[in-house]
Amino acid sequence: MEKLISKLTEKHILFTASFVIRLALVAYGDYQDRTMAVKYTDIDYHVFTDAARFITEGESPYNRSTYRYTPLLAWLLTPNIYLNMVFGKILFIVCDVLSGLLIYKVLCLRGLRAETARCVSSLWLLNPLPMGVSSRGNAESILAALVLGTLLCMERRAQRLTWAALLYGLSVHMKIYPVTYALPIALTLRTAEIRVDEAKKVSRFKKLVGFFVGFFNQDLLLFASVAGGVFFTLTGLFYYMYGWQFLYETYLYHLTRRDIRHNFSPYFYMLYLTAESTWSQWLGLAAFLPQFALLLVTSWMYYKDLAFCCFLHTAIFVTFNKVCTSQYFLWYLCLLPLVIPNLSLTVKQGLGLLLLWFAGQAIWLGPAYFLEFEGYNTFLWIWLAGLLFQVVNCFILIQIVTHYKPTKTPLRLKAE
Amino acid sequence: MYFKLFYVVSALSLFSKCLCLGEKDEIQNHCDLLRQWLAPSSVRVELNKKGFHREVTTTVEFRSKELSSVKVLLIHRWPRDVYVDPYQLASLSDQNDWKILLDSAIDLEVPAHKASGFVTYVYPFSTGPTSKLFKVTIPIHGRYHKPSFDGKMLKSVDIEVPELLLRSEKCAQLSSLEPHTVVDAPCTASNSSTCSWVKVKPQQDLNPVSFQLPVGDGSLVAHVCGGTLLVTMICCVALSKYMWKHQVI
């Protein structure tokens, strides 16, 4: 009994402490904004608040230049105008702590002991990076909570499939990148082909037909209709309210985005130099193909471990994307705690990879600073640093893939 | 009796003439004072900070004594190589002693060759009763330019000296201030009406202030494309190979 109480207390301490620390950061941020020249609050938060203000005045949130999100976010933040501007930040830190709770629950369902699960969840709950991001007013934690919620419901899909579909549809509406999870989810929900005797020869054609027919089962059709229903209802509603500009700013801009300004992507300089040339479209396609091919391969190889598959999907999507900013890293970092318990890396190796990742970013940030704030022409160095960062990311992903031991039994790992 | 009426009427008309003359005198005084303000005054433009984010500081010093009814207007004509962030300006507005008006919407992200120049109207207000010095600092940001194919690593951007305009609410006869040019411009930053302003001739012909922005090297396009696609292909193949070897069955 005492042990149980102490466990509960510990759990409550962890979640309470992580919320209190974030709240303190929000309070500090407010102080810094009022007293210092360098502001704590991110520019994005002002964009959200301005868009929410337009909504309270009965106008379109897209009147705010650079607002490229769903109107739902601006609607959620209207209390910023009616109550207090800090409301949005409170919402984001609540979602952040909720993400930590969802990580804990998923880990427990994947077979970890509660104590170990709490330890691993603290990698997110007590991590300064998500703390800083949410308290500065970025909305990434909402999406992290939605994606983790989808994964949690998928772990319990016998009872929670509709909820999984609902959360998934909502997450795709908010940001496009979770759409890549559609294939592994479909592969998970389909009726797997029955394993036949090796001796019995089944024609390739029959196998192929069997494969496709497997996609038409009740679970998958239910998931597709609920997720699709949520997505298209919201899209239809906002299209009716805000027209073409909603579609363009929320989705098309991100799909066709070619930021020629410097960013972490290895393609940035190539796209900048060829922005006006006739080769531009073909190069865009050439950049898209490796990303697309890798996502297909990942889906097929790892769909049986959905959490790991989604982590790899997002990490690959971000690493091979035509535009990459540090905000994108949170998309896969929120899934990393789900993967860590299954890694056979030592703590030293893990920390080494983490340092390597930070070093890759630092090597890029150096020339980027000199370009933007000192006016030196460091384009070539930024390009090379971007390539190096991509190699570092791939190396880390290869290490993770090589040292991953799935929890589900019985599974054979194809050893080297 | 008629003589009395005649004397009263002429006394009255003399009196009103005096009044009118008095008013005219007052207007003439204001216009004369305005003319004094039009005497050559110095306009200095300085550029601060480095890289893509700069500050343009315009300092105007008048020789005449301050007159509360004189309004000052600075018109900056900016090239398409730079832009100002209206949201940044709005957040700085309570710290400044001037108000700014933009003549068009600004696209914050488009490169220089797809952008167009724009005009800003800055209305400084005096900070004290004896001030004849106005200092306005506007933060500007450089746009990305087309890559160069002639080996030049930097592109020059010229910022012209702003036009200095004056008006006085109490001097409407701006024609009396010839040969100074009269220009129409918004009365205040709220842009609710247009007024006539007098342009101040600069002390001497001032050259524009210039700075440089880095541009990409277009001659390296083949190497950059080749190198980028090669590295990404190698990464793609390597990752696929290891995922195939360690797939979860």
| Residue whose structure tokens are 């940030």 | A365
| pLDDT computed for residue B171 by the predictor | 73
Residue range B129-161, pLDDT digits in tens: 556 778 899 999 999 999 999 888 999 999 999
pLDDT at position A194: 62
Q: What percent of chain A has pLDDT over 90?
A: 70
**Which of the pair, A312 or B196, is modelled with greater confidence?**
A312
Q: What is the span of the domain harbouring residue B156?
A: 12-215
Q: Which of A270, A298, A376 comes nearest B243 by C-beta?
A: A298
Amino acid identity, position A122: S
pLDDT per residue as tens digits for the range B112-127: 999 999 999 999 876 6
Query: Is the same domain home to B224 and B210?
Result: no
Instruction: Tell whether the model's pLDDT for residue A289 goes beyond 80.
Output: yes
Are B56 and B121 in a shared domain? yes
Is B2 inside a domain boundary?
A: no
The residue to which tokens 């702590």 are assigned: A97
Give the pLDDT of residue A164. 96
Burial B117-128 (b: 16+ CB within 10 A, else e): ebebbbbbebee
pLDDT at B37: 67
Domain count, chain B: 2
- Substitution target in A66, A248, A270, A303 with the highest count of B β-carbons within 10 Å is A270
B residues 151-180 closer than 8 Å to A (CB) = 153-154
In terms of pTM, does the model score above 0.90?
no
Residues 264-293 of A with CB under 8 A from B: 266-267, 269-270, 272-277, 279, 283, 286-287, 290, 293
Q: Helices B221-245 and A280-302 sit at what angle, rounded to 10 degrees? A: 10
For residues B226 and B205, state if they share a domain.
no
Q: Which residues of B touch A411 (CB under 8 A)?
A: 248-249
Task: For A119-183, give the DSSP string.
Answer: HHHHHHHT-HHHHHHHHTT-THHHHHHHHHHHHHHHHTHHHHHHHHHHHHHHHHHH-SGGGGGHH
CA-to-CA distance for A150 and A106, rounded, in angstroms? 10
Using the predicted structure, report yes or no on whether residue A254 has a pLDDT greater than 90. Answer: no
Of the partner residues B106, B113, B239, the one whose CB lies closest to the CB of residue A397: B239
Percent of chain A's residues with pLDDT above 70: 93
> Is B5 part of any domain?
no
Band (pLDDT 50/70/90 cuts) for residue A7 is low
Please give the sequence-ordered ranges of beta strands (E in DSSP) within A145-282, or none if there are none: none
Residue B42 resides in a domain? yes
- Within this chain, do residues B238 and B141 fall inside the same structural domain, yes or no? no
pLDDT digits (tens, 9 = 90+) for A145-199: 999 999 999 999 888 999 999 999 999 999 989 999 999 999 999 887 665 555 5
Same-domain check for residues B228 and B161: no
The yes-or-no verdict on residue A205 having pLDDT over 60 is yes
Answer yes or no: are the C-beta atoms of B64 and B72 closer than 8 Å. Answer: no
Residue B4 lies in a domain: no
The reply to whether B68 and B84 lie within a common domain is: yes
Q: Which amino acid is at A239?
A: Y
**Per-residue model confidence (pLDDT) at position A410:** 36
What is the rounded CA–CA span in Å between residue A266 and residue A269?
7
Q: Is residue B108 part of a domain?
A: yes
Same domain for B181 and B223, yes or no, is: no
Do B209 and B242 lie in a common domain? no
A266 vs A388: CA distance, rounded Å = 8
Task: Examine the domain organization and report whether B112 and B232 are in the same domain.
Answer: no
Which of the four pLDDT bands, split at 50, 70 and 90, describes residue A416?
very low
- Residue A388 scores a pLDDT above 60: yes
The answer to whether the CB atoms of A378 and B214 lie below 8 A apart is yes
Work out the average pLDDT over A380-398. Answer: 97
Of A110-114, A126-130, A210-214, A285-289, least confident by mean pLDDT is A210-214
**Which residue, among A105, A90, A118, has the nearest Cα to A19 in the 3D structure?**
A90
**What is the rounded average pLDDT of the residues A322-350?**
93
Asked if residue B184 and residue B167 are part of one domain, the reply reads yes
What is the spatial distance between Cα A249 and Cα B109, in angstroms, rounded to a whole number?
14
Residues B244 and B193 in one domain: no
Residues of chain B with pLDDT under 50: none
Residue B1 lies in a domain: no
Tell whether B107 is within 8 A of chain A (Cβ).
Answer: yes
Reported as a single tens digit per residue, the pLDDT across A112-127 is 998 889 999 999 999 9
Task: Verify that B203 and B221 share a domain, yes or no.
Answer: no
B7 part of a folded domain: no
pLDDT of amino acid A413: 35
Mutation for A interface: B153, B235, B236, B242, most A CBs within 10 A? B235
pLDDT tens column, A214-249: 888 889 999 999 999 999 999 999 999 999 999 988
- The answer to the question of residue B6 being in a domain is no
Of residues A201 and B238, more confidently modeled: B238
pLDDT at A408 over 60: no
Among the partner-chain residues B113, B144, B248, the one whose CB lies closest to the CB of A304 is B248
| Predicted confidence band of residue A211 (pLDDT cuts 50, 70, 90) | confident
